Amino acid sequence: MRWEVFKQDAPSKPHQAVGSVHGADAEHALLNARHVFGRRPAAISMWVVRADRIYGRTAEELAAEAPRAPVASGNEGTYHVFRKASHRRSMTFVDHLTDVRAAGPSEALAVALAGAGAEPGLAWWVVDANDVHATDPDAAASWFEPAKDKTYKQQSQYGTVAAKRNEGAAG
Amino acid sequence: MNEQVTGALISRLTAMADDELLLGHRDSEWTGHGPLLEEDIALANLAQDEIGHAVLWYGVRSQLDGSDPDSLAFGRAPQGFLSCGFVELPRGDWAFTLLRQFLFDTYEAEALARLAGSAHAPLAEAADKARREELFHLRHTGLWVKRLGLGTDESRRRSLAALEELWPLYAGLVAPLPGDQLLMDANVLRDWASLSGAVIDRARTALAAAELDPGHDPDPAPAERDVVREHRRELLATMQEVARQDPEAVAW
């Protein structure tokens, strides 16, 4: 089963969609998400959501659908609304924008769009809050803190490679 | 520290580092062969972490005797290693690899908690650093042991076969070294006498949740770390091959 992964880098930052993992269930998916997306980069929290539970619309799809009254097609409850605001970021997709109470994802999106005002979006995702499986805040120390001591290394940082290159140039 | 205590600490650090290095290497043999991409990455992460812990222990040793960690890892003959048989066995199947890693993580969690209170400050600091990510290791490997134990007939059969092979050697991993008593007297090792029992109890509890019964406790056998077994020889021959061909790495 495929799960979408949302990573939060700092308390002031939103959860952002960073990619997907396979997992037999939520716990497995969270562990794999940490291994794949949280070993080096900064993180303080991760969410996973079953990919088939995500309601997604692009700006083009919304334009083609309109005008149509939002359909109360799901559970009355809290929905997380995510938006992709620009093409500038290549490593993330949508960002967590707001939470709304609604009776289904399409209604939640309509509420969010009305509230977002003039701010355009290229794509939108809506997730029932009950479908979110989050990392345990108490576990953050063992899940995310060690990343601070690990660094990315470019090939050029290894002295051996430089020595080889110099030798090749000399030869 | 007097010379005897320093010597005992060097042996203790070397044994711990060698265990981490060889287990990390065995885990790394899965790289590119994992059952799915995410687990391939996950096991490579665990392997790197264990090798990272080996670097920590070799580093603490280096402060005592000026030894070079790279030379210890890649330039030492098999008879100079102090690894135990538990970490030397071939990687086996997925159940064997994950069960071994889980049992090792269980041991490490108990050992690191004790080492973090060591009177030798560099050892305590290194243990504290390694301890955090070890809790995450346990979550991951514990998850797999439970799923494989409670999974299909095949996963259960493979888990039980792995346990049968690993359990008798587990005592060798946790057994005290000849010099440990000196280190306990000097508070370099604290609460160390309780380590073996605590590890076995903790492992039993987790195994029971996966409905895996190892039977009686492993016989408290000496670790036989000074014995050169064939698996150690074979592992080092592979791991050290490139370094032996080109020790200074000045030509491809």
Do B251 and A167 lie within an 8 Å CB cutoff? yes
Q: Where are the domains of chain A?
A: 2-170
How many Å apart are CA B192 and CA B43, to the nearest integer?
Answer: 29
Closest Cα in chain A to B133: A142
Using a CB-CB cut-off of 8 Å, the residues of chain A touching B42 are 31-32, 35-36
Q: What's the pTM value of the predicted model, to 2 decimals?
A: 0.90
Among B107-121, B217-231, B233-247, the minimum mean pLDDT is found in B217-231
How many Å apart are CA A163 and CA A24, to the nearest integer?
Answer: 46
Q: What's the mean pLDDT in B52-77?
A: 97
Transcribe B95-145 into DSSP letters: HHHHHHHHHHHHHHHHHHHHHTT-SSHHHHHHHHHHHHHHHHHHHHHHHHH
> Average pLDDT of chain A?
86
The identity of residue A38, as a single letter, is G
pLDDT tier, B252 (very low <50, low <70, confident <90, very high otherwise): very low
pLDDT value, residue A68: 59
pLDDT value, residue A141: 80
Residue B220 has pLDDT above 60, yes or no: yes
- B132 CB within 8 Å of a chain A CB: yes
Residue A69 has pLDDT above 90, yes or no: no
Residues with Cβ < 8 Å from A91, sequence gap 6 or more?
A: A18
pLDDT value, residue B206: 96
Among A71-75, B124-128, B161-165, the minimum mean pLDDT is found in A71-75
Closest CA to B5 of B113, B127, B119, B175: B119
| Percent of chain A residues past pLDDT 70, beyond the cut | 82
pLDDT tier, A140 (very low <50, low <70, confident <90, very high otherwise): confident
Residue B13 has pLDDT above 50, yes or no: yes
Q: Out of A43-47, A73-77, B218-222, give the one with best mean pLDDT.
A: A43-47
How many Å apart are CA A116 and CA A44, to the nearest integer?
Answer: 27
- A136 CB within 8 Å of a chain B CB: no
Residue B251 has pLDDT above 60, yes or no: no
- Chosen for mutation from B132, B146, B150 (greatest number of chain A CBs closer than 10 Å) is B132
pLDDT value, residue A91: 85
- A52 CB within 8 Å of a chain B CB: no
pLDDT value, residue B247: 78
Residue A118 has pLDDT above 70, yes or no: no
| Percent of chain B residues past pLDDT 70, beyond the cut | 98
Closest Cα in chain A to B46: A35
Burial of B116 (0-12, 13-18, 19+ CB in 10 A): middle
Check residues A150 and A58 and name the one with the higher pLDDT.
Answer: A58
Helix axes B121-150, B195-209, angle to 10 degrees: 30
Q: Give the bridge partners for A22, in sequence order.
A: A2
Q: Give the bridge partners for A20, in sequence order.
A: A4
Do B41 and A35 lie within an 8 Å CB cutoff? yes
Residue A162 has pLDDT above 60, yes or no: no
> Average pLDDT of chain B?
94
pLDDT value, residue A66: 64
Using a CB-CB cut-off of 8 Å, the residues of chain B touching A146 are 132-133, 136
Residue B161 has pLDDT above 60, yes or no: yes
Q: How far is B161 from chain A (nearest CA, A)?
A: 24
Residue B168 has pLDDT above 50, yes or no: yes
Residue B1 has pLDDT above 60, yes or no: yes
Closest CA to B134 of B169, B170, B107: B107
Closest CA to B13 of B113, B122, B105, B135: B122
Transcribe B167-220 into DSSP letters: HHHHHHHHSPPTTHHHHHHTTSS-SGGGHHHHHHHHHHHHHHHTT----SPPP-
Closest Cα in chain A to B52: A150
Residue A150 has pLDDT above 90, yes or no: no
CATH superfamily of domain region B3-245: Ferritin, core subunit, four-helix bundle (1.20.1260.10)
Closest Cα in chain A to B144: A28
Check residues B246 and B166 and name the one with the higher pLDDT.
Answer: B166
Q: What's the mean pLDDT in A27-47?
A: 91
How many Å apart are CA A105 and CA A126, to the nearest integer?
Answer: 6
Q: What's the mean pLDDT in B142-161?
A: 97
Q: What's the mean pLDDT in A83-112?
A: 91
Do B41 and A36 lie within an 8 Å CB cutoff? yes
Using a CB-CB cut-off of 8 Å, the residues of chain B touching A24 are 147
Residue A170 has pLDDT above 80, yes or no: no
Closest CA to B160 of B64, B218, B95, B86: B95
What's the Cα-to-Cα distance from A44 to each of A19, A79, A143, A148, B223, rounded to whole Å? 17, 22, 9, 11, 41
B39 phi, psi to nearest 5 deg: -75, -30
Check residues A140 and A66 and name the one with the higher pLDDT.
Answer: A140
- A40 CB within 8 Å of a chain B CB: no
ipTM of the complex: 0.85
pLDDT value, residue A161: 56
Do B136 and A149 lie within an 8 Å CB cutoff? no
Do B251 and A24 lie within an 8 Å CB cutoff? no
Do B38 and A146 lie within an 8 Å CB cutoff? no
How many Å apart are CA B252 and CA B246, to the nearest integer?
Answer: 8
Do B42 and A32 lie within an 8 Å CB cutoff? yes
What is the 8-class DSSP label of residue A157?
G
Pairing status of strand A55-58 against strand A77-84: unpaired
